[in-house]
Amino acid sequence: MYVLKKGIFGGTFDPIHNGHLYIAHEALNVLGLDEVIFMPSGNPPHKTDRRKSDAGIRYELVKMAVRNEKKFSISSYEIEEKDLSFTYKTLEHFKAVEPDTEWHFITGADCLVELGYWKNVDRILNASRLVVFNRPGYKKEEILEQKKKVEQEYGKEIIFLDLNLFDISSTAIKTMIMKGRDASYLLPENVYNTVLELEIYNSKGEE
Q: Residue 46 gets which letter from DSSP?
A: G
Question: Would 21 be classed as within a structural domain?
Answer: yes
Mean pLDDT on 19-40:
97
Examine the pLDDT at 104 and tell me if it is beyond 50: yes
For residue 90, the enclosing domain spans 5-169
Question: Would 191 be classed as within a structural domain?
Answer: no
Question: Would 199 be classed as within a structural domain?
Answer: no
Examine the pLDDT at 205 and tell me if it is beyond 50: no
Question: Would 190 be classed as within a structural domain?
Answer: no
Mean pLDDT on 105-123:
95
* pLDDT tens-digit readout, 83-103: 888 999 999 999 999 999 999
The pLDDT value given to residue 35: 98
The pLDDT value given to residue 90: 96
The pLDDT value given to residue 50: 57
Separation between Cα atoms, residue 55 and residue 69, nearest integer Å = 22
Question: Would 107 be classed as within a structural domain?
Answer: yes
Question: Would 182 be classed as within a structural domain?
Answer: no
| CATH number of the CATH domain containing 58 | 3.40.50.620
Question: Would 201 be classed as within a structural domain?
Answer: no
The pLDDT value given to residue 27: 97
Contact yes or no for 125/107 (Cβ under 8 A): no
Sheet holding 102-108, edge to edge: 72-74, 35-40, 5-11, 102-108, 129-133, 159-161
Domains held by the chain: number: 1
Question: Would 30 be classed as within a structural domain?
Answer: yes
pTM above 0.85, yes or no: yes
Q: How confident is the model at residue 46 (pLDDT cuts 50, 70, 90)?
A: low
Name the percent of the chain lying above pLDDT 70: 94
Beta-sheet pairing, 102-108 with 129-133: parallel
